[in-house]
A and B are shown apart, each in its own frame.
Chain A
Amino acid sequence: MKSFTYERVHTPAEAAAAAARMPGSKFLAGGTNLLDLMKLQIETPVHLIDIGKLELNKIEHTSSGGLRIGALLSNTDLASDASVRRDYQILSRALLAGASGQLRNKATTAGNLLQRTRCPYFYDTNQPCNKRVPGSGCAAINGYSRQLAVIGSGDACIATHPSDMAVAMMALDATIETVNPKGKVRSIPIADFYRLPGKTPHIETVLGKAELITSVILPPPTGGMHFYHKVRDRSSYAFALVSVGAILQNDGSGRIALGGVAAKPWRSESIEKLLPLGSKAFTEKLLAKARPTHENAFKIKLVERTLEGILKEGRS
């Protein structure tokens, strides 16, 4: 771990301003991801801006009938909120499928969105990794890639985004609200929030350098039946091989978002029209551009079959 300086801020504007003042600084929320990465010297901020005391830990109803989720609300509190459990079950289920009870008590909404990949080579500073050290190469592409992305990746990086919560938020069409050092507020639809790796896998979102996430807005409830099936190598406490979040309506329409397949939660609204044709036709189209490795090609079939199970449960 490298030495760093530390400050605690009290308003969102102050946080963004502090970040602008100190290049190489990072916001510290729950710290469950950032501190681990600092200990391994994968993240090396020179300055930590502790945002833990900001008053961004509430859930409020919006005037349009949706929810505004504070950026610092804990994953535990979000998952157990009564409105979330009633109207946005997919979110509650996705959260509870992630990490462990202790971690969810610390982990925050914004931190969860911004958690970094679990690619094993990213975690080993002796290995080349374009995401960790741009231009150093990617050890995973010809290495151990079982867990990694099958679609939307390129020759520079095949890492996945590991968040479960983000998959549910993608299905719910969430919007991310931010503030920048000038005090400017911006709303970013989650579909536009994450960037695919391209040649710059170290740049993961469209956030500006000193931009602070303040809240996540959920549109009014969609109704329907909610599913979140996370498939993994053990029953709990593991990242997804693939996960399928689904909101199914009685008329056969629905929304589907996938985790564990790409550098962001994977969804295509236009392809959702094909859902009534069944999981095979839908998955073939949704993952048509997949370029899996020989080790993770099984994920495509796994998505199709997991979705088939969900559709079957939805019908019965």
Chain B
Amino acid sequence: MKFDKPAGTNPIDQMKVIGKPLDRIEGPLKTTGTAKYAYEYNELNKGHAYGYVVGAAIGKGRIDSINQYAAKNAPGVLAIVTYENAGPLQKGKFYADKLLAGPDIDHYHQAVAVIVAETFEQARSAAALLKITYTRVKGSFDLEAVKDSAITPQAGQFGPPPQTELGDFEGAFATAAVKLDETYTTPDQSHAMMEPHAAFARWNGDKLTCWCSIQQLNWGVRDLANVLGIPKENVRLISSFIGGGFGGKGTVLSDIVAASLGARAAGRPVKLTLQRPLIFNNTTHRPATIQRIRIGAATDGTITAIGHESWSGNIAGGRTESATAPTRSLYAGANRMSHLRLAVLDLAEGNAMRAPGEASGMMALEIAMDEMAEKLKIDPVEFRIHNDTQVDPSNPTRNFSTRQLVKCLRDGAEKFNWKRRQAIPGSIREGKWLIGIGVASAIRGAPITKSAARVRLDKEGMITVETDMTDIGTGSYTIIGQTAAEMMGVNIEKVIVKLGDSAFPESSGSGGQWGAASSTSGVYAACVKLRESVARSFGFDPEKTEFSDGKVHSGNRSVALGDAAKTGDLFAEDEMTYGELSKQYAQDTFGAHFVEVAVNMYTCEIRVRRMLAVCQAGRILNPKSARSQVVGAMTMGVGAALMEDLVVDKSRGFFVNHDLAGYKVPVHADIPYQEVILLDDVDPTMSPMKAKGIGELGLVGVAAAIANAVYNATGVRVRDYPITLDKLLDTIKINA
């Protein structure tokens, strides 16, 4: 089915199942520990062995020698694979990193070997006996130091154009009545998902099955086939459950390659997981940025010039963090520029992490907007509203499909009692606590992409949906079940959802906030076909047939749905594809974040006290799972604002705090009451589902809202994340 004109009324609009806050259908499996994750497929892989990945001990250089003698002769060792015996390996198409290094080492902890042994302990112990000598070469590890060598990158598959100009930015900025020109920095961040990267690989002749934990099975099949040099048809990937990804498990990484190579070498199924301290330097991360923002405005607050430049680094072939993306669409302003630059860094690969581009970019832009509002002596909510636009500011002939940023800000301000905020920082105090309130807008693109599904009806009236879509903790199982239930006129108990197997029809996968909208649309397409064959099986005109209460109605006839499958199951498979609507309309999601913080006047410890997000993100398919997404994202925003920081050792060339004791993410005690308001929004330009993604929107702007609240509490403007207490200590006065 091709979607190329705005959707009219369709069965989803009934909202009998869609839009209901249903519990996750796979919830009981998770809470009882019976949901199987990649590492747990023991009984399907009798006689399996264990793998252990060894990471490079240097930041940059090459391997001089590998002495396997001691490791090979250690108890239980079955095989050792290094670049010397792995055979030729290529790169995947998405990640730029070489997933088994050698002889060159591109970054610290890049995989250099996999040891396969009878037990995990034997593999780990042998790993310590593998003697590898290296020669270090001078690497580039300091973004600030190599900033001036950065070049304008090629346009990437996902980011905005690297360099854009509209009107006369320099002229308008030079003559603006009120100006801001500031630099902001964001640090490298790690996804730090709960489930580490893990893979269970089994060869059957030249066919490979791998239970793994990745977000995009279609990319995974392509990339694993590429890396190993085998036909795609010979690769099957299964990811039924994924313990978080946040973009860090887009497709194949070293765990899957190591398990596959190890299994081939040992002639047995092999399972392995990346040990936690390896993940931070071995896999990908959100790269650090240095961002310069310039805003010029007339005294009434009208933005006349807005410019955003961002520098980031990556290994050769790696992508650019597209931090300028949100600035291209968020606020009006006739004269604009944006510019991305990319330097070479010999740290682990920088790649997608939840809301790539927007998250980092908005950490800077929304502080800048707060600073401008103050210079203009305009309330920060009003300043943002004043510069709202209903046309795409980078392409003013194009409208937004739907845009309720103003309502997000207004409703949020009302609900949060924004009035309580004092314009003069440091005005509100409760004992030793300095209280501040901050706001930020949110914007995140609403991409949608082709996705296929297969549906089956049996004589009991049960619907089974199969698609290679993944559920990374987001609720895909449930919303896909709701979609099929709504389409077929049954309740959710009548739907079985099977996901995460590359043998199923190819879906959008989970990434870029496109999963929910895309995968449910694929299910919609398949259900339309199934409805047609059901109708025809009863001799009904499909156009005049209704599906409800487990029955099929046409004219004055009503038949049980399952009767259509009396003589055998009915199948339907289809794919939703897209025309030009995403070019005709700017399709985005919007939001506003409000935060109250308290800062200890003595120690400068920052505590978040209240948080509110108002989100506009198309039709909300399930308010419960949507809210969970936003709450989780807000929590991640607290981490980004206050603590998350992969610290680079600039002489040794690696992220030093590479475990969960050193890399801090928020704990329960850091998170206050969080409230989420989901606005009514139906976007017929997206798909028949009229839905968009929300999982990334919830993060965008949160950190800046906290930064602005800290400023409002203390009068200290921190432009370098994370906002740790040492950055306030010299300035906050003790006023006992």
A contacts with B: majority SS: loop
Q: Is the CB of B734 within 8 A of A305?
A: yes
Q: Is the CB of A229 within 8 A of B603?
A: yes
Given contacts A229-B603, A234-B670, contact A1 B657 (CB under 8 A): no
Q: Is the CB of A120 within 8 A of B662?
A: yes
- 115-133 of chain A: CB within 8 A of chain B: 118, 120-121, 123-124, 126-127
Q: Is the CB of B602 within 8 A of A305?
A: yes
A287–B725 alpha-carbon span in the complex (Å): 20
Q: Is the CB of A309 within 8 A of B125?
A: no
- 137-153 of chain A: CB within 8 A of chain B: 139, 142-144, 146
Answer yes or no: A236 CB below 8 A from chain B CBs: yes
Given contacts A139-B649, A309-B432, contact A233 B664 (CB under 8 A): yes
A239–B661 alpha-carbon span in the complex (Å): 9
Q: Is the CB of A305 within 8 A of B729?
A: yes
What range describes how many residues of B lie at the interface? 35 or more
Answer yes or no: B642 CB below 8 A from chain A CBs: yes
Q: How far is the CB of A126 from chain B (nearest CB, A)?
A: 4
Q: Is the CB of A144 within 8 A of B657?
A: yes
Q: How far is the CB of A41 from chain B (nearest CB, A)?
A: 5
- 205-259 of chain A: CB within 8 A of chain B: 229, 231, 233-239, 241
Q: How far is the CB of A118 from chain B (nearest CB, A)?
A: 7
Answer yes or no: A6 CB below 8 A from chain B CBs: no
Q: Is the CB of B649 within 8 A of A298?
A: no
Answer yes or no: B430 CB below 8 A from chain A CBs: no
What residues of A have a CB within 8 angstroms of the CB of B642 in the complex? 233-234
Answer yes or no: A308 CB below 8 A from chain B CBs: yes
Answer yes or no: A13 CB below 8 A from chain B CBs: no
Given contacts A237-B667, A301-B729, contact A118 B661 (CB under 8 A): yes
Q: Is the CB of A233 within 8 A of B643?
A: yes
Given contacts A236-B667, A312-B736, contact A123 B647 (CB under 8 A): no
Q: Is the CB of A235 within 8 A of B669?
A: yes
Q: Is the CB of B667 within 8 A of A120?
A: no
Q: Is the CB of B649 within 8 A of A144?
A: yes
What residues of A have a CB within 8 angstroms of the CB of B128 in the complex? 2, 41
Answer yes or no: A302 CB below 8 A from chain B CBs: yes
Q: Is the CB of B649 within 8 A of A143?
A: yes
Answer yes or no: B600 CB below 8 A from chain A CBs: yes
Answer yes or no: A63 CB below 8 A from chain B CBs: no
What residues of B have a CB within 8 angstroms of the CB of A293 in the complex? none
A306–B432 alpha-carbon span in the complex (Å): 12
Q: Is the CB of A298 within 8 A of B729?
A: yes
Answer yes or no: B498 CB below 8 A from chain A CBs: no
Most buried by A among B58, B601, B603, B736: B603
Closest B residue, CB atoms, query A127? B652
Answer yes or no: A3 CB below 8 A from chain B CBs: yes
A143–B655 alpha-carbon span in the complex (Å): 11
Q: Is the CB of A143 within 8 A of B125?
A: no
Q: How far is the CB of B295 from chain A (nearest CB, A)?
A: 32
A302–B57 alpha-carbon span in the complex (Å): 36
Q: How far is the CB of B190 from chain A (nearest CB, A)?
A: 14
Q: How far is the CB of B431 from chain A (nearest CB, A)?
A: 10
Q: Please pick, from B121, B643, B668, B725, the residue contacting A231 in the complex, using a CB distance under 8 A.
A: B725
A191–B289 alpha-carbon span in the complex (Å): 47
Q: How far is the CB of B144 from chain A (nearest CB, A)?
A: 15
What residues of A have a CB within 8 angstroms of the CB of B607 in the complex? 235
A237–B57 alpha-carbon span in the complex (Å): 29
A238–B658 alpha-carbon span in the complex (Å): 15
Answer yes or no: B724 CB below 8 A from chain A CBs: yes
What residues of A have a CB within 8 angstroms of the CB of B600 in the complex? 309
A282–B724 alpha-carbon span in the complex (Å): 25
Q: Is the CB of B658 within 8 A of A234?
A: no
What residues of A have a CB within 8 angstroms of the CB of B603 in the complex? 229, 231, 302, 305-306, 309
What residues of B have a CB within 8 angstroms of the CB of A298 in the complex? 726, 729
Q: Is the CB of A121 within 8 A of B725?
A: no
What residues of B have a CB within 8 angstroms of the CB of A143 in the complex? 649, 651-652, 656
A287–B649 alpha-carbon span in the complex (Å): 28
A236–B666 alpha-carbon span in the complex (Å): 9
How many chain A residues touch B (Cβ–Cβ < 8 Å)?
A: 36
A126–B647 alpha-carbon span in the complex (Å): 17
What residues of B have a CB within 8 angstroms of the CB of A1 in the complex? 121, 124-125
What residues of A have a CB within 8 angstroms of the CB of B121 in the complex? 1
- 585-628 of chain B: CB within 8 A of chain A: 600-605, 607
What residues of B have a CB within 8 angstroms of the CB of A301 in the complex? 729-730
What residues of B have a CB within 8 angstroms of the CB of A124 in the complex? 277, 656, 658
What residues of A have a CB within 8 angstroms of the CB of B661 in the complex? 118, 238-239
A309–B657 alpha-carbon span in the complex (Å): 30
Interface digits, B658-680 against A, CB 8 Å rule (1 contact, 0 not)? 11011010111110000000000
What residues of B have a CB within 8 angstroms of the CB of A234 in the complex? 642-643, 664, 666-667, 669-670
Given contacts A41-B128, A229-B603, A234-B643, contact A120 B726 (CB under 8 A): no
What residues of B have a CB within 8 angstroms of the CB of A312 in the complex? 432, 602, 736
What residues of B have a CB within 8 angstroms of the CB of A121 in the complex? 656
What residues of A have a CB within 8 angstroms of the CB of B602 in the complex? 305-306, 308-309, 312
Closest B residue, CB atoms, query A297? B726
A120–B602 alpha-carbon span in the complex (Å): 28
Interface digits, B635-650 against A, CB 8 Å rule (1 contact, 0 not)? 0000000110001010
What residues of A have a CB within 8 angstroms of the CB of B724 in the complex? 233
Given contacts A235-B669, A235-B670, A306-B602, contact A123 B651 (CB under 8 A): no
What residues of B have a CB within 8 angstroms of the CB of A39 in the complex? 124
What residues of B have a CB within 8 angstroms of the CB of A123 in the complex? 277, 659, 662
A100–B128 alpha-carbon span in the complex (Å): 31
Q: How far is the CB of A5 from chain B (nearest CB, A)?
A: 15
A301–B657 alpha-carbon span in the complex (Å): 24
A236–B643 alpha-carbon span in the complex (Å): 12
A3–B124 alpha-carbon span in the complex (Å): 11
A124–B667 alpha-carbon span in the complex (Å): 25
What residues of B have a CB within 8 angstroms of the CB of A305 in the complex? 602-604, 729, 734
Q: Please pick, from B647, B649, B669, the residue contacting A236 in the complex, using a CB distance under 8 A.
A: B669
Q: Is the CB of A2 within 8 A of B125?
A: yes
What residues of A have a CB within 8 angstroms of the CB of B667 in the complex? 234-237
A137–B555 alpha-carbon span in the complex (Å): 86
Q: Is the CB of A238 within 8 A of B125?
A: no
Q: How far is the CB of B550 from chain A (nearest CB, A)?
A: 48
Given contacts A120-B657, A143-B656, contact A126 B125 (CB under 8 A): no
A306–B664 alpha-carbon span in the complex (Å): 22
Interface digits, B720-736 against A, CB 8 Å rule (1 contact, 0 not)? 00001110011000101
Q: Is the CB of B734 within 8 A of A308?
A: yes
A231–B606 alpha-carbon span in the complex (Å): 11
Closest A residue, CB atoms, query B109? A126
What residues of B have a CB within 8 angstroms of the CB of A237 in the complex? 667, 669
Closest B residue, CB atoms, query A310? B602
A306–B604 alpha-carbon span in the complex (Å): 9
Q: Please pick, from A2, A40, A139, A236, the residue contacting B668 in the complex, using a CB distance under 8 A.
A: A236
A124–B125 alpha-carbon span in the complex (Å): 16
A306–B48 alpha-carbon span in the complex (Å): 55
Closest B residue, CB atoms, query A125? B128
A144–B642 alpha-carbon span in the complex (Å): 18
What residues of A have a CB within 8 angstroms of the CB of B643 in the complex? 233-234
Interface residues of A (CB under 8 A from B): 1-3, 39-41, 118, 120-121, 123-124, 126-127, 139, 142-144, 146, 229, 231, 233-239, 241, 298, 301-302, 305-306, 308-309, 312
Q: Can you list 5 A-B pairs with a CB-CB distance of less than 8 A?
A: A234-B667, A234-B669, A237-B669, A302-B603, A306-B603
Interface residues of B (CB under 8 A from A): 57-58, 121, 124-125, 128, 277, 432, 600-605, 607, 642-643, 647, 649, 651-652, 656-659, 661-662, 664, 666-670, 724-726, 729-730, 734, 736
* Top 4 closest pairs, chain A to chain B, by CB: A309-B602, A235-B669, A298-B726, A236-B669
Please give 7 more A-B residue pairs, beta carbons under 8 A apart, in addition to A127-B652, A234-B670: A143-B652, A236-B667, A236-B669, A237-B669, A302-B726, A305-B734, A312-B736
